[in-house]
Each structure stands twice: as C-alpha cells, then as structure tokens.
Amino acid sequence: AFEAEYGYPLAPPETYAQLMDIANFFTRPDEGLYGVGIYTQADYDALTMGVQNTLFSWGANWQDENNNVMGVVNSPEAVEAVEFYRQLYDCCQAPGLSNAFFAEVNDAFIGGQTAMIMNYFAFFPALANPEVNPYADSTGYFVNPKGPNGDQFAALGGQGISIISYIPAERQEASKDFIRWFAQEDIQAEWAALGGYTCS
C-alpha cells in the first residue's frame, strides 16, 4: 500500500521528506494511530532539541561565525526547517502530545498510539524491554534523516557535573578526584562503549 501511494518501498526514512511520507501514511485517526511523537514541550529544552535536528539538517544554525543571531535564526533555511517541524506536528503528531518530551513520546509509542517517535538513546531501554513495551520485538531504530541538501545532524544534550560549594572541603576534593578520573579519555571511551548510562 505504501509503495503504491508514494512510489518507493516502505523502509526507515533516509530523508526528512521520506519521514513526512511515512508519518502521513501511518496517521490514521479512525484507528487511533498517528505517524509521529516529536518533542513539543516548552518548559525545558525539549522543543529546542527537537527543532535543532531539523535546523542543522537544513544547513541552518543559531548564529553566524561571530555569534550574531540577528538575521541568522530567521534565515530562509532556518524558517524552512521550523516550518517542516510544524508541518510534521500538524499532520501527524498524536493527540495529547502538545507538551511532550521523552516520557510522553515513549508512552505514546508503547501505548500503540504512534508509529514512530523521536527520543534520546538513553530512553531506548524501555522500548527494548518486552515487559514495558508490548511491541519490543518489532521495534526498530533509525538515525535522524538527511535534510534537503544531504546534511544530517542530531542535537545531543548533556548534563554537567557540579560540585556544591557548601559541602565539606574533603568531599569537594573527593568530587574533584572523581571528575578527574571520569574525564580521562580511556574511561570516557569505555563508558561510551557500555552505552553511556549511569548505574542507576
């Protein structure tokens, strides 16, 4: 059915245009199924992280080489990228996901409400766990698609490590020792090879 409608076989999307086709194909409100669950929450950095995936893949950026944002954020490429993200939301976002981040999109997917979701790899374990996700055995993963000019980016977040100034000096030094150890290249490489997760 997909190939007859779109002219190519159904497969993981290689471009954002294909992502839009696939999302449209699986948007079936009468069946309670929608094409995507994308980040929309404005309270933290969810919407920013979601939009950045398209922004960078369209060849746009937040600033120019001198860190000026005026005339850059509203460049034709940036506007087109944001418009694409909005169109994806308008056509294919599951209901109830107008303020969604990682937990909400995972829940929509696990609940059978969406065919595809955007999420950080740190939240994939729930998707791979058959005790949590009834579709775990048939769940696949794909990288962010390419933009219209072949650019392909993923916005990756991170959290810093802080040392609280009001803890005893001995604990501050122990914290610094941990950071020095953890920041070593071989330790970081091993941690990344193990998936980059905390032990909790």
Taking 90 as the threshold, does the pLDDT of residue 70 lie above it?
no
Q: Which secondary-structure segment (H or E) carries 184?
A: none
Q: What is the dihedral of CA 129, 131, 136, 137, to 10 degrees?
A: 110
pTM for the model: 0.81
* Residues 37/113, Cβ–Cβ less than 8 Å: yes
Taking 70 as the threshold, does the pLDDT of residue 198 lie above it?
no
Taking 70 as the threshold, does the pLDDT of residue 182 lie above it?
yes
pLDDT digits (tens, 9 = 90+) for 6-18: 999 999 999 999 9
* Residues 46/40, Cβ–Cβ less than 8 Å: yes
Nearest to 13 by CA among 92, 129, 79: 92
What is the model's pLDDT at position 71? 78
pLDDT digits (tens, 9 = 90+) for 119-149: 987 888 899 999 999 999 999 999 999 999 9
CB count, 10 Å around CB of 103?
Answer: 12
What is the model's pLDDT at position 1? 95
